[in-house]
Amino acid sequence: MSKQELYIGVDVGGTNIKSGLVTFEGDIVEEKWVDTDVHKGVDDVLDRIGHIIQEFVENTDNKTAVRGVGMGIPGQIDVRNGLLKESPNLPGWDEIHIDEELKKRTGLTVTVDNDANIAALGEYAYGAGRGVTEMFMVTLGTGVGSGLILNGNIYRGATRFAGEFGHMTIEQDGPLCGCGRRGCVEAYVGLNGILRLVKDQLKSGKESVLRKIDPDLITPKDISYAAGNGDRVAIDVFRQVGEYLGIGLGNVVNLLNVEKIVIGGGVSKAGEFILGPARETLFKVALKVCLDVVSVVPATFIDRAGIVGAARLAMLNGK
C-alpha cells in the first residue's frame, strides 16, 4: 500500500508560530502552536522552527510520509532566493536566507513566501476561494495583510512586493500609519486604528461597557463581545471599520474585477458587524459591471489559512 502523502505548513507571525501536518486534500491532521518569542533572537526562533519540522517528520508512522515543507513569514521576501529582506513584525530579521537556514537545521528544502500570500493560497485551494480564479484576500489583525490570486496564481508584482492593500490611501490627510504615511487603510482598520476609533467614540461621552476596560488594553475580542450584546459604541466602531474597509475593497474591485473577496484574520471574527458595512460601502464605490460577479465572504480557516496555504505551497513546489 502506498503511503499517505503529508505536507508540513508553518505560519510564522509576530506572536505565534502555527504549524501543522496537512493532507493533499487540505485537512490538518496534526497541529502545533507555540509563541514566537521574537525577543529571543533570530537564531533561537529558527532553531525552534527547525525543531518543529523535525518533530513532525519523526512522528510520521509507516503509513505516512512527509513530502514537502512550506512556510509563510511576514515581511518582504525575495521568493526566488528564499531571502527575507525585512519584516516589520519580526524586528532584526533583515536580509536572512530563510530557506538556507532551515536546510542547515533540518536537511529539508523549505519553500518560503509572504504570510499574506500564503493565507490567500490556503483559502483559494481549500477554503472560501474555491471555484474562482480571481480572488483577493484581506487579513485583519494587528496589521492589514492582503494576498491576490489572479488567473489561479499568486500575483507578486514586478519586484515581488505586490498586495500592500493595507497601505492604500483612503484619506490623504488621515491619521498616521505604521508605514510613516497618512490615511492608509491600515491606519483605520488595523488594530491601532480600531483602538483610536474606540477612544474617539468614548470621548464623545456615549455609554458603553468598554468604559470598564483600560482604553489601552481593549482588544478586538472585547469589542466583538460588546457588539454582540448590543453595545452602540462597539457596533458603531465596527461599522466605521467596515466602511473604511469597503472603500479600499471597492477600489480593488474596480481595478481588478475579482470574483471573490475573502476576509480573514483575528479581527474578522467580528463577522457581519464589519462585513455588512464593508459590503454596503463596496456597493457604493464599485462599478455595477464589476459588482455583478463579486462577493465578500468570511475566510474558512480564519487563524489557520496560513498553515494549509504553506502546505499547499510545498505541494505546488514539489510538482
Binding site for Zn ion (CB under 5 A): 167, 177, 179, 184
Q: Specify the residue, 179 or 202, whose C-beta has the smaller distance to Zn ion.
A: 179
> What's phi and psi for 112, nearest 5 deg?
-120, 145
Shortest distance, position 183 Cβ to Zn ion, whole Å = 8
Q: State the cell numbers at 179.
A: 508605514
Q: Specify the residue, 178 or 271, whose C-beta has the smaller distance to Zn ion.
A: 178
Query: Contact 142/190 with Cβ under 8 angstroms?
Result: yes
Q: Specify the residue, 88 or 276, whose C-beta has the smaller distance to Zn ion.
A: 88
Query: Contact 123/116 with Cβ under 8 angstroms?
Result: no
Q: Specify the residue, 71 or 177, whose C-beta has the smaller distance to Zn ion.
A: 177
Q: Specify the residue, 179 or 316, whose C-beta has the smaller distance to Zn ion.
A: 179
Shortest distance, position 184 Cβ to Zn ion, whole Å = 3
DSSP character for 2? P
Shortest distance, position 167 Cβ to Zn ion, whole Å = 4
Torsion, Cα of 157, 159, 160, 164 (10° steps): -70
Shortest distance, position 265 Cβ to Zn ion, whole Å = 17
Shortest distance, position 165 Cβ to Zn ion, whole Å = 10
Q: How many Cα atoms sit within 13 Å of 296 on the Cβ side?
A: 27
Q: DSSP alpha helices (H): ranges in 190-271?
A: 191-203, 220-228, 232-256
Query: How many angstroms separate the CA atoms of 27 and 49, rounded?
Result: 21
Shortest distance, position 143 Cβ to Zn ion, whole Å = 9
Q: Specify the residue, 174 or 276, whose C-beta has the smaller distance to Zn ion.
A: 174
Query: How many angstroms separate the CA atoms of 77 and 88, rounded?
Result: 12
Shortest distance, position 181 Cβ to Zn ion, whole Å = 5
Q: Specify the residue, 177 or 296, whose C-beta has the smaller distance to Zn ion.
A: 177
Give the residue among 164, 189, 161 at the shortest CA–CA distance from 179. Answer: 164
Shortest distance, position 171 Cβ to Zn ion, whole Å = 12
Query: How many angstroms separate the CA atoms of 232 and 241, rounded?
Result: 14
Query: How many angstroms separate the CA atoms of 89 and 93, rounded?
Result: 9
Q: DSSP secondary structure string, 67-90?
A: EEEEEEESSEEEGGGTEEEE-TTS
What are the C-alpha distances in Å from 40 to residues 37, 46, 117, 153, 284? 6, 10, 26, 36, 47
Tell me the chain's radius of gyration from C-alpha atoms.
Answer: 20
Q: Specify the residue, 105 or 167, whose C-beta has the smaller distance to Zn ion.
A: 167
For the chain, the helix, strand and coil percentages under 3-state DSSP, each to the nearest 5: 45, 25, 30
